Structure 1
Amino acid sequence: MRRDVVISEYVTYSVLYTSTIICNKYVLTSLGFQFPTIFQAWQTFIGLFLMHAVGGFKVKQMVLRDIGPWVPAMMLYVGTIVSGSIALSKLPIPMFILGQGCGDVILLLFNEHMPSTIAMFSFPVKLAAAIIASWSAIQQSWYTALLWLIAHAIFSGAYRSVSLWYSTPHWPYSNLTIQQRQYLNYFFSTCVLLPLIFAFGHYEKAKSFPHLNASRFYIGSICSGIFGWAVNKLWMRLFFHAASDAKTHATQLFSKVLILLISMNIYPYTFSWSIWIGILLNLIADVLQILDSNFDQDLPTGEEMHDVLVSF
């Protein structure tokens, strides 16, 4: 039974979401830590540790036959956080947020429970925003960054689609809770990324990182890991206990607006008019999805990580 949560929890989520993005951006761009395998292995390890230390998570509660069907999602999760880490390091935050929201287009394409007319209007709007953003990125010669942003949107949308399918009764052995799924995401990502640190030579290259002995680097990395775990944990609570989906979607929209406003002051950047149009269209599409949530509460959501993949 869903019940409403207090307003402070919605506000806390928005603050944590904003803080996580800012911390990640600081470490990846301001300090220039360009080793995504190390950064993501660290963050997913922190998530594992905190799930045990704070949440009292029990591994024995999971069985192998339930884990197997979730493997595709775990693989997509790794692709999402790594591509997101690289895209965020190379792009301004507003551009990254715009690309991140384009994962909705993929989710709508593969959603077997077709949304209402209002939500379907958000599809062409988000698609138009993505096209405008891509054109703007090409105009500014962000070719490599654009490819990583597209990869992030594809991985994110595919992950959320699998999450949606997993939550339906048609998926075999879909008995894992949302906490168990996130634990598996952390565990699988850590196990995959640790050997890649050495395979890609990031371990040796990181030894020459200029801020390796700077306290601000470790403070930023620790805060990034903790905030990433906290925002996912709080989202799980909002997802289960909010009185309506419209409130959680509205909270996500408010979080986007908040990070856009704050980032433009911390990391000022002169955008072209086309990027602003893309950002506006993306926000309008989010408003349409909120209106849809108000009118239709019967469709299965299953989007437990809607735009909350902030472990990058």
Structure 2
Amino acid sequence: MQCRRHIPGFTFSLVFVLSYFTNKFVLSVLKFTYPTLFQGWQTFIGAVLLLLSGKLGWVEMSFISRSAALSWLPASLLFVGNIYAGSRALSHLDIPFFFTLQNSSYVVTYIISTALHREKQKMHQLKSISMGLMLLAAVNLPLCDPQVDNTAYLWAVCHLLCAGAYKAFQVHKSNNLSDFEQHCINCLFSVLLLALAAHPTGDLTGALEFPSLHSGVFHCGCSASALLGFLLLLVTVKLKRGLSSEHLGIWIFISKVTAMSLSPFLFSVNINTPSLVCVLISLVGEALLVFSNRDSQAG
């Protein structure tokens, strides 16, 4: 009985790890570094599956009004920046480094949320320590990385800024859109914007010369990435509805630790002692953040 309670959490963790590993495989191992096409494909399949699931009644989706969709467009723009920059960064960064930098998005979310409140909020001491640790780890990681790629780190900064701003917008935007409806708008907007950007960025012509374009492994990887992205949405929403934000944070933390721990067995990871320390400091910071959220809710 106790194990059955954790099935949604274990399912989320499994899909989370598989999703990131599949994306990393296509981006780094197969070297399909054309994010307008890769992310456009993922969001196109995500939109199709989501609309089909809504039509069949598998997920709860109501008619999205034009005003609601337009009011959500700033978040959709941040979503596109998030997935595009994240794809660029993940293609060149090891998974432990990617998550270490990504954790700084919590700091961005807090700063924006505080500014939106227009009130001076008293930060919990544990939360301030956790924010400081995650920011410290992210700032020092490029200095410790044995094979630092400045372009990859620049894209990672863009990714964490967009991810942090998106989470802040999602929390504080007052609307009646469900998680599925928000994601549907995000996907449709992403498909349109990324399709328009495919030729100007050179991704379209570059992809036509991609060596593994007709490879079965490449086709399977792209198909799996799109399907796993949709499944990750489903299990995330299920987990959010069934658990408190504290427990959701715990499962996200567990999933990241699992992905970081397993990634050296599947991908080439170049890590030294100083960069490993940065990764561990960031994980400690995220763990403290989860505990601080629990304490603030209890209070």
One-letter amino acid of the structure 1 residue matched with residue 233 of structure 2: N
One-letter amino acid of the structure 2 residue matched with residue 105 of structure 1: V
Work out the CA distance in 1 between the residues paired with 2:62 and 2:284: 44
Instruction: After TM superposition, give the deviation of residue 70 of structure 1 in Å.
Output: 1.2
2:215 is equivalent to residue 207 of structure 1? no
**Higher-helix-fraction structure:** 2
Task: Give matches, 1:6-21, under 5 Å.
Answer: 6-21=5-20
CA contact (8 A) 1:245 1:297 kept: no
Question: Of 132, 156, 174, which aligns to 1:124?
Answer: 132
2:159 is equivalent to residue 152 of structure 1? yes
Work out the CA distance in 1 between the residues paired with 2:135 and 2:235: 29
2:280 is equivalent to residue 273 of structure 1? no
Question: Of 89, 99, 103, which aligns to 1:101?
Answer: 103
Instruction: After TM superposition, give the deviation of residue 129 of structure 1 in Å.
Output: 0.9
2:39 is equivalent to residue 50 of structure 1? no
2:249 is equivalent to residue 237 of structure 1? no
Work out the CA distance in 2 between the residues paired with 1:58 and 1:194: 28
Instruction: After TM superposition, give the deviation of residue 234 of structure 1 in Å.
Output: 0.9
Q: What TM-score comes out, normalization by structure 2 length? A: 0.91
Q: Which residue of 1 aligns with 2:37?
A: 38
One-letter amino acid of the structure 1 residue matched with residue 70 of structure 2: G
Task: Give matches, 1:74-85, under 5 Å.
Answer: 74-85=76-87
CA contact (8 A) 2:60 2:180 kept: no
Work out the CA distance in 2 between the residues paired with 1:87 and 1:163: 23
Q: Which residue of 1 aligns with 2:142?
A: 134
CA contact (8 A) 1:132 1:274 kept: no
CA contact (8 A) 1:87 1:149 kept: yes
Work out the CA distance in 2 between the residues paired with 1:9 and 1:156: 24
2:82 is equivalent to residue 69 of structure 1? no
Report the 3-state secondary structure (helix = DSSP H, G, I; strand = E; otherwise coil) of the residue aligned with 1:124.
helix
Q: Which residue of 2 aligns with 1:92?
A: 94
CA contact (8 A) 2:54 2:61 kept: no
Q: CA RMSD in A?
A: 2.0
Report the 3-state secondary structure (helix = DSSP H, G, I; strand = E; otherwise coil) of the residue aligned with 2:91.
helix
Report the 3-state secondary structure (helix = DSSP H, G, I; strand = E; otherwise coil) of the residue aligned with 1:90.
coil
Unpaired segments of 5 or more residues in structure 2? none
In the TM superposition, what whole-angstrom CA distance separates every residue of 1:164-203 from its partner, at most 9, and x where no partner exists?
Answer: 211xxxx4xx121111111111110001011211222322
CA contact (8 A) 2:109 2:167 kept: yes
In the TM superposition, what whole-angstrom CA distance separates every residue of 1:117-136 from its partner, at most 9, and x where no partner exists?
Answer: 32222111111111111322
Q: Which residue of 1 aligns with 2:186?
A: 185
Cα pair distance change 1:212/1:18, threshold 3 Å:
same
Q: Which residue of 2 aligns with 1:257?
A: 257
Work out the CA distance in 1 between the residues paired with 2:258 and 2:224: 19
Instruction: After TM superposition, give the deviation of residue 277 of structure 1 in Å.
Output: 1.3
Q: Which residue of 2 aligns with 1:304?
A: none
Instruction: After TM superposition, give the deviation of residue 227 of structure 1 in Å.
Output: 0.5
Work out the CA distance in 2 between the residues paired with 1:133 and 1:266: 22
Work out the CA distance in 2 between the residues paired with 1:86 and 1:181: 24
Work out the CA distance in 2 between the residues paired with 1:134 and 1:255: 24
In the TM superposition, what whole-angstrom CA distance separates every residue of 1:73-127 from its partner, at most 9, and x where no partner exists?
Answer: 1000000000000100011111111111111110121223745332222111111
One-letter amino acid of the structure 2 residue matched with residue 79 of structure 1: G
